[in-house]
Homo-oligomer: A and B are copies of this chain.
Amino acid sequence: MARKTERRNQQTEESRRKILEAAAEIAAERGYEGTSIALITKRSGFPASSLYWHFGSKDELVAEVIEHSYREWLPRVPRWQPPEGGAVDRQERQEQLRSILRRAGQGIVERPEFMRLGLMLMLERRAVEPAARARFLAIRREMLEVMSDWWVAVLPPEVRSARPGLAVQLARLNMAAADGLYAAAGTEVHPADIDGIQELLVLALDGAVAAVAEAERGE
């Protein structure tokens, strides 16, 4: 019957998951090279041979850590749902952005592993790139696209047509500021200060749109 198969599959899945959770914790603390098999066996309780049975190699295991921690993070990520019916006024744009950024911040606090490991991998410049790094970059490309689409939808129509590349630039700047803020959070930036800086980021991005709009009107 399917029940026993399911139970076995469930146990297998559970072992995999435990190994990945332990590895994700360690990788977010110590980076790719610092994530040793010995540390994972200690924290997960499984012997090295089980890790190799499930994942084949350390490189593949860390790539799966990225994939797994991304899936854990995903439900906490804001949707970047463009507003119904296209363009919106300035205040509405600000409020949408504010609520999206707040949610993004919460998500990263609740599941920090994906971004922490991912940013460390992104900064690396090894001759042979870990599989996890390529995977992270691919996911980030998708994220940027979603953010760009939101900015396209929310930009005043005349600005959007006058400056076709602006939405991507805004998305990039938005992402860069969020990354940098996250990297500094918990060490350089006290958690209580995050909100104020995030609010300033909303005003800043909106102010940039206003400045570009004004410049276009002035030409």
Contacts and interface: CB of A to CB of B under 8 A. Distances in A.
A123 B183 CA distance: 6
Q: How large is the interface on A (under 10, 10 to 19, 20 to 34, 35 or more residues)?
A: 35 or more
Given A124-B30, A177-B173, A184-B176, A200 B207 contact: no
A179 B28 CA distance: 19
Contact of A176 (B144, B180, B196, B205): B180
A184 B173 contact: no
A184 B172 contact: yes
A48 interface: no
A119 B123 contact: yes
Nearest to A199: B169
A5 to B, nearest CB: 40
Which among A30, A123, A170 has the greatest number of chain B C-beta atoms within 10 A? A123
Interface of A: 28-34, 116, 119-120, 122-127, 137, 140-141, 144, 165-166, 169-170, 172-173, 175-181, 183-184, 187-189, 193, 196-197, 200-201, 203-212
